[in-house]
Amino acid sequence: MNFETILYEVSEHIAKITLNLPEMRNPLTARLTDELAEAIRTADRDEDVHAIIVTGAGKAFSAGGNLNEFKENFTKPVPQLHREGRESTELFKLGAEVQTPIIASVNGPALGGGTGLVAMSHIAIASDRAKLGLTELSLGLVPFVILPWVRRAVGNRRVMEMMLTAEMMDAERAKEYGLVHRVVPHDQLEEETWALAKNIASHSPLAVRLGMDAYFTTEQMDFMKSFDYLSTLRLVSFQSEDLKEGASAFLEKRRPEWSGK
């Protein structure tokens, strides 16, 4: 694959996607957004990939939207803006669509849409140098597209505070709010992220996919009906080769060899 704005590599069942416009602080340009979405889809379709890392090149994770592209919107007709706006939301739908866990490795400032990427990720680990925040209102914008993910991460009251104040917060406060799960010293971020990804990738890929399915499918489901759905989904696990292998490996005190079936 020939990407212009990101780097994509696979090693040890882990796909690492690096936003690669460091001189611009990795803004979510139209091209970068499209390429990031395509890279995530590619990794999710690859049976050899069991976890996805998203990080930024240079000192920033992502500075969010690109102001130069925003200026171009002033002269575009409404139908074009509507079409492009719908296309730009496809990236942020992926968090609920993929079955491969996404880990955000927040190496520096993640503002606006960058905060949205962190909130969309299934696990987020941050450098102690990271800064996060919904800074859009300071520019006369509203964080429309990312609002659902940030609300899910921090709750209604805090997302309202973040949106209306447009303030940046440090990594520890982001952890307190629930935006990130872990904060580590900056020079340990890559090592800690890789250890986390390898941990996830070491599990049965089928069980991980079923777990992702169970989480997102039942989230908006009627509470009582969710038990019926999960009982049905459990049958797949009970008849899987991976469960048989996992049980045998445990009894034989050896590492399992997953087939993903």
Quickly list DSSP for 44-96: HH-TT--EEEEEESTT-SB-EE-HHHHHHGGGS-HHHHHHHHHHHTHHHHGGG
90 part of the active site: no
What's residue 79's pLDDT? Answer: 75
pLDDT band at 72 (very low <50, low <70, confident <90, very high): low
pLDDT band at 247 (very low <50, low <70, confident <90, very high): confident
Query: In a 3-state reduction of DSSP, which class is residue 161?
Result: helix
Asked whether the CA dihedral 132, 212, 50, 20 is positive or negative, the reply is: negative
Q: What is the mean pLDDT of residues 242-247?
A: 86
What mean pLDDT value characterizes the chain? 92
Average the pLDDT over each of 194-203, 226-235, 249-258 and give the range with the smallest value. Answer: 249-258
Q: Is the pLDDT of residue 77 over 80?
A: no
Q: What is the pTM of this model?
A: 0.92
What's residue 248's pLDDT? Answer: 87
Q: 210-224: per-residue pLDDT in tens?
A: 999 999 999 989 999
Q: What is the mean pLDDT of residues 72-95?
A: 77
The answer to whether 145 and 112 are in contact (CB under 8 A) is: no
What's residue 74's pLDDT? Answer: 64
Query: In a 3-state reduction of DSSP, which class is residue 9?
Result: strand
Q: 145-191: per-residue pLDDT in tens?
A: 999 999 999 999 999 999 999 999 999 999 999 999 999 999 999 99
What's residue 92's pLDDT? Answer: 95
Catalytic hit among 136, 176, 190, 219: 136
What's residue 69's pLDDT? Answer: 65
What's residue 7's pLDDT? Answer: 98
Q: Is the pLDDT of residue 41 over 90?
A: yes
What's residue 71's pLDDT? Answer: 61
Q: Is the pLDDT of residue 70 over 70?
A: no
What's residue 139's pLDDT? Answer: 86
N residues, the chain: 261
The two three-digit tokens of residue 25, written as one number = 């602080």
